[in-house]
Amino acid sequence: MNVAVANVPPSELDMWPGPVGWDSVWVADVRCRPATRDEHTTRACRRPHCDGAPVMALERTSGWWLYCADHLYGHRIRHGVVEFRTWHERERVS
């Protein structure tokens, strides 16, 4: 599956500067999964007034909420895994 991140090309997202001494890391989001084929063709994005086809499902207490590629909010889908970007502190060299 292609990489999809809300309104930002993946190459640009990886170039956003982070805090000094920290590295950007993409990790799997266990609360999310790619939308199923049935969800993709029969339902719309969770956002009001958005008719985009869902690409990601987020598990909430009330069930699965679906989001289109324009509304992934910092998530991306890579090789069938939904990931989010976080920061990891570099080891200090004495």
- d(CA 86, CA 33) in angstroms, rounded, equals 18
> Full-prediction pTM beyond 0.75?
no
Those residues with Cβ within 8 angstroms of residue 12's Cβ, 6 or more apart along the chain or in another chain: none
- d(CA 65, CA 59) in angstroms, rounded, equals 6
C-alpha R_g of the chain: 15
- d(CA 74, CA 94) in angstroms, rounded, equals 34
Q: Is 70 helix (H, G, I), strand (E, B) or coil?
A: helix
- Per-residue pLDDT of 28-75, as tens digits, reads 999 999 999 888 788 888 888 888 889 999 999 998 999 998 888 888
Band (pLDDT 50/70/90 cuts) for residue 3 is very low
- d(CA 8, CA 61) in angstroms, rounded, equals 29
